[in-house]
Amino acid sequence: MHLSIVQSKNSKSLYVIRSTYKNGRNSSERVEKLGTYTELLEKLNGQDPIAWAKTYIDELNKKEKAGKREVSISFSPAKHIGKNQQVLFNGGYLFLQVIYYALGLDSISKAISKKHKFAFDLNSILSNLLYARILFPASKLATMQIAQKFLEPPSFEIQHVYRALGIISEESDFIQSQLYKNSRRTLDRNTHILYYDCTNYFFEIEQESGLRQYGMSKEHRPNPIVQMGLFMDGDGIPLAFNISKGNTNEQVTLTPLEQKLLKDFELSKLVVCTDAGLASNANRRFNDKKNRAFITTQSIKKLKKPLLQWALAKSGWFIPGTDGTFDLTKLDTDDTLYEAYKNTTFFKERWIKENDLEQRLIVTFSLKYRDYQRKIRSSQLERAMKLVQKNPQKIGKCHSNDFKRFIAKKSITPDGEIAAKNLYSIDAELILKEEMFDGYYGICTNLEDDAQSIIHTNHQRWEIEESFRIMKTEFQARPVYLSRDDRIHAHFTTCFLALTLYRLLEKILDERFSCHRIIDGLRNFNFYKVASEGYMPTYVSDDFTDLLHEKFQFHTDRQIIPNQEMKKIFKTTKNLKSQRTRYYSNDNICSIRVDKRCICQYIQIVMPHNGS
């Protein structure tokens, strides 16, 4: 800061001026008006105002350098706000930006840019697409407008975004493989256990074309859909994905993507865990070779009669950590035993051979799971009875898990004639048939590991199901409004990358907050821009913001953050691009060495290698 003297016709005024550099141009901004020469002369009792002003500014510079200069802000009710002047900015993306650069997505963008030799900034477009998908999901046009609300607004145009989508689609496989390789330098990826699942996303456009086809919608919508298969590692971090036509059988989507992992990701020893819908004999055989194995859910209802009788038999059950077997009939006759084993998962196991494939069948029984299933069925039966009594005309076709399945329809009289009207009742036989399976759960595997570890591994599938839920709800990945196949593929590439950033942020925060709490907190991480001074936080400081600042080791929880300090924060979030090397402490804290500084100053991810 320096002194500026402005001479007018009747007076001479003294100002504190700061030199600035904006948009590639040097300029200056007024920090404070000290007063006119005459006013200061009178106020200072004859002391030279200019000498005093220079001394005063020297003190201000010292305080500003030490971060102790107090800022006074004045507002006038007589002044109008400037047109198109934005004063509120979002800074929640800064924490995502640290992870983005730590994963080397900027380097990936640079490599793609060199290959295709286009003029627009792919790194800026990709990063803002990811930040906006997590914080403010919207159309591509709206995303460009939303990005202007970030503390570092980009300068790309909408035509650049659509051109970038084509490039992102073309380079999707390269982005995924490079992201995995970069992530290994940052954290220890648990790729010994992989989870795979498939879901679909619907379109608002009703015409079929390319990837957009009619198929079995998991949401039972009469719209064209596209299939997305997702691999997740053993710690819940997305690994790879593929997109296929909406009318594709999901069972045939696993092998091609797994082959890509074996080739591009150079994986060899792995265990693939899936649900029953993906447990085809072909998929099991593919993972019954070399160093590969499978764990898959097995429908108890679809077991052959001898195996079904064995699975549902009340005797021969093991209790983890004990010897001998247990008879489940005791649980229904002894309330004390019920309370004692309420949280216990009983199991039994045997080797079976079906379709010339030897595999191990593990069946579990849980009182908690049984009670949960009965509670759900009770609620469904209540809805079914209300429908029969009040609105039978609304009874129509239903899917396998619909509450209407309990409603039996009778359209023929005892004499075999067609009835004048349909008669509806609750199907008691179906209820009894379903109750037989309450609490039972089946798993098939070719592993010889301890049954409890296999049960635990299979239980972790909930994380991939939650990942799909996050993309569909929080990230609003559907409905899809795009029509071109390359842009559809690029859309899901950005959703996949955004999910990776979010999952890592979740791990950094020790999984202490829900998805809604994290995203809502980042959305409200706003700042008010004070002209020529800096940024005033407008968010509510709480445990969430405290943990963010603690983990990322930069602080915005001050009454005002000076412009220079905010620039340092911007630099901090991006200063992770060079000299990335793998580093592990004895406590399995994964971090990166950057220019002789450890990134654990900014980010610590505690993720033990569960597969070792």
Six token digits for residue 235? 């710690």
Q: Find out whether 560 and 71 touch, Cβ atoms under 8 Å.
A: yes
- What does the mean pLDDT of the chain come to? 87
CA dihedral 483, 488, 490, 492 (to 10 degrees): 150
CA-CA distance, 305 to 324, in Å (whole number)? 26
Nearest Cα to Cα of residue 459 among 275, 185, 602, 594: 275
pTM, rounded to two decimals: 0.81
Measured in whole angstroms, the distance separating CA 185 from the mean position of its chain's CA atoms is: 21
pLDDT, tens digit, for every residue of 381-405?
A: 999 998 888 887 777 777 777 888 8
Is residue 267's pLDDT more than 60? yes
| Greatest distance between any 2 Cα atoms in the chain | 120
Query: At CA 502, angle to CA 500 and CA 503, rounded to 5?
Result: 65
CA-CA distance, 144 to 158, in Å (whole number)? 7
Q: What is the DSSP string of 277-330?
A: GG--HHHHHHTSSTTEEEEEEE-STTS-HHHHHHHH-SS-BB-TT--S-B-THH
Task: Report the pLDDT value the prediction gives residue 603, as an integer from 0 to 100.
Answer: 42
CA-CA distance, 496 to 494, in Å (whole number)? 5
Is residue 412's pLDDT more than 90? no
Q: Give me Rg for the CA atoms of the chain.
A: 32
pLDDT, tens digit, for every residue of 428-456?
A: 889 999 999 999 999 999 999 999 999 99
Six token digits for residue 512? 């202490």
Which of these ranges, 314-318, 342-346, 390-394, 498-502, has the smallest mean pLDDT? Answer: 390-394
Is residue 146's pLDDT more than 90? yes
Measured in whole angstroms, the distance separating CA 584 from the mean position of its chain's CA atoms is: 25
Six token digits for residue 608? 């033990």
Which of these ranges, 42-46, 88-92, 255-259, has the smallest mean pLDDT? Answer: 42-46
CA-CA distance, 558 to 573, in Å (whole number)? 18
Phi-psi region of 102 (alpha: psi -120 to 50; beta: other; left: phi over 0): alpha
Q: Find out whether 504 and 188 touch, Cβ atoms under 8 Å.
A: no
CA atoms within a 13 Å half-sphere pointing along the CA-CB vector of 133 = 26
Which burial class, exposed, middle or buried, applies to 604 when counting CB atoms under 10 A from its CB (0-12, 13-18, 19+)? buried
Compute the average pLDDT of residues 206-234: 86
